[in-house]
Amino acid sequence: MGLSGKSVAFHTLGCKLNFAESSTISRDLQGAGMTLTELKSGADVVIINTCSVTNQADVECRSIVRKALRANPEAFIVVTGCYAQLRPSEIAAMDGVDLVVGAQEKLHLRQFLTDLTKQDEAIIHSCEIQDVENYQAAYSLGDRTRAFLKVQDGCDYKCTYCTIPMARGISRSAPLDQAVSQARALVQRGVQEVVLTGVNIGDYGKGEFGNKRHDHRFIDLLHGLDEVDGLDRIRISSIEPNLLSNEVIDFVSHSQRFVPHFHIPLQSGNNEILGKMKRRYQRELYQQRVEAILARTPDACIGVDVIVGFPGETEEHFLDSYQFLANLPIGYLHVFTYSERPGTEAIHLDGVVPPVERKARNHRLRLLSAQKQKNFALRHRGTIRRVLWEEANREGLMFGYTENYIRVQCPFDADRAGTVEHVMLGEWGSHDGLDVQPIQQQSPVAS
């Protein structure tokens, strides 16, 4: 049965890497003649790209399956992604699921869509994760202003709470020439900002040519991408603090393309909990990294990942972590509530934190994050910045981000959407961003 003329809808959960891979699968299927549509429109094929970070993966997956079947009871349901790799039989047992595709097969999904007839039992195509050794390229194309470029996959770390190594396999990297050529291709498509994505991108270079050694380093990738003509901005999505070297910090501070924005996972501001998590640093090193960035680039925005409610985290541990974060000169937090994941070491640790307490700690840190975000933005009132406007019209407004990740807003203007513009930063707006005024004169511009 051919795919030409059939419609396909995607629902992607989780990280930027998943969105890059969903976009790559979508382009492949459209190349086979399929038409991209929305889930609510009743697609012939629905592809759910899942995440495994929390224990809500099964709940979310079931909900999306039901929603897809309400729109079209004959929809052929495909589930892929990290949850599909970790629990393929569990997903196959869900009512309505027709095909489960694992990590190695995900980007070749088209070859498994040979018969779109719904069957009584789902088919599973999934290999053992230890057999996944090859790197598979991917990038997203959304509103053309910004693209997620995958440069690395997998992880060799053994953090006690994390399922990603079991879902994505060993650390492996895009060949340097391939990553640079893909960035050039994105520029030709009109993309102005590229966000580098991966599981552990600071480990870039390992497994570049099917081996365990580093043929290149992360800094080599930065040098190569910095020479891509026509690329306005490059943003590093997330990098481990122990892999964020002074060499990388120095390079970004002098680059005209890499923006002054770092997202650095911390997970806990308490050293005892960091030890239980088997993180590869203590909080003193994290603070040194923050200070090194701001010493070179005072206007840089620094984002932080943090987990609350990890086994053994007492109220004293939490308050110690909270105070550490409150004192750090950072821009925002991404707060995660610890979630028990089968197969992880942490699930066997003592000192389980009650769910109600986890929720309360999450709320307290989210309030701190909102305060940090607003304070960071308001520090820059009255300065002139370059903003990349997104193309979406949201209730009569358009939104964008400055190089240092300040969210801004103004009335929607189709002629300005998707462009880079100099603006004067104003007051805190109604949608958690700064109101701005366009500036005709292009100087002076804050760096």
pTM (2 decimals)?
A: 0.91
**Closest residue by Cα to residue 333 from 372, 364, 298:** 372
Q: What is the pLDDT of residue 54?
A: 72
Q: What is the pLDDT of residue 440?
A: 65
Q: What is the pLDDT of residue 332?
A: 97
Q: Name beta bridge partners: 173.
A: 152
State the virtual CA torsion across 278, 279, 280, 286 in degrees, nearest 10: -150
Q: What whole-number distance in Å separates Cα of residue 316 and Cα of residue 323? A: 11
Owner of token pair 């019209």 = 393
pLDDT in tens, 138-165: 999 766 688 999 999 999 999 999 999 9
**Which has the higher per-residue pLDDT, 341 or 430?**
341
pLDDT in tens, 278-320: 999 999 999 999 999 999 999 999 999 999 999 999 999 999 9
**Is 90 exceeded by the pLDDT of residue 430?**
no
pLDDT band per the 50, 70, 90 thresholds, residue 271: very high
Asked if 223 and 257 touch (Cβ cutoff 8 Å), the reply is: no
pLDDT in tens, 103-112: 889 999 999 9
pLDDT in tens, 182-230: 999 999 999 999 999 999 999 999 887 766 777 899 999 999 999 999 9
81 burial via Cβ count (<10 Å: 0-12, 13-18, 19+):
buried
Asked if 389 and 419 touch (Cβ cutoff 8 Å), the reply is: yes
**Mean per-residue pLDDT for 21-33?**
94
Q: Regarding the domain delimited by 129-259, which CATH topology (the fold level of the hierarchy) does it fall under?
A: Transcription Regulator spoIIAA (3.30.750)
Instruction: Report the chain's mean pLDDT, rounded to a whole number.
Output: 92
Q: What is the pLDDT of residue 150?
A: 96
Domain ranges in the chain are 7-127, 129-259, 266-379, 384-438
Least confident of 69-78, 373-382, 389-398: 389-398
Q: What is the pLDDT of residue 78?
A: 96
**Is 70 exceeded by the pLDDT of residue 14?**
yes
**Mean per-residue pLDDT for 84-109?**
92
List the CATH code of the domain at 7-127.
3.40.50.12160
Q: What whole-number distance in Å separates Cα of residue 447 and Cα of residue 444? A: 9
Q: Regarding the domain delimited by 266-379, which CATH topology (the fold level of the hierarchy) does it fall under?
A: Transcription Regulator spoIIAA (3.30.750)
**Mean per-residue pLDDT for 66-71?**
93
Q: What is the pLDDT of residue 444?
A: 42
Q: What is the pLDDT of residue 143?
A: 63
**Mean per-residue pLDDT for 117-124?**
91
Q: What is the pLDDT of residue 210?
A: 67
**Which has the higher per-residue pLDDT, 443 or 116?**
116
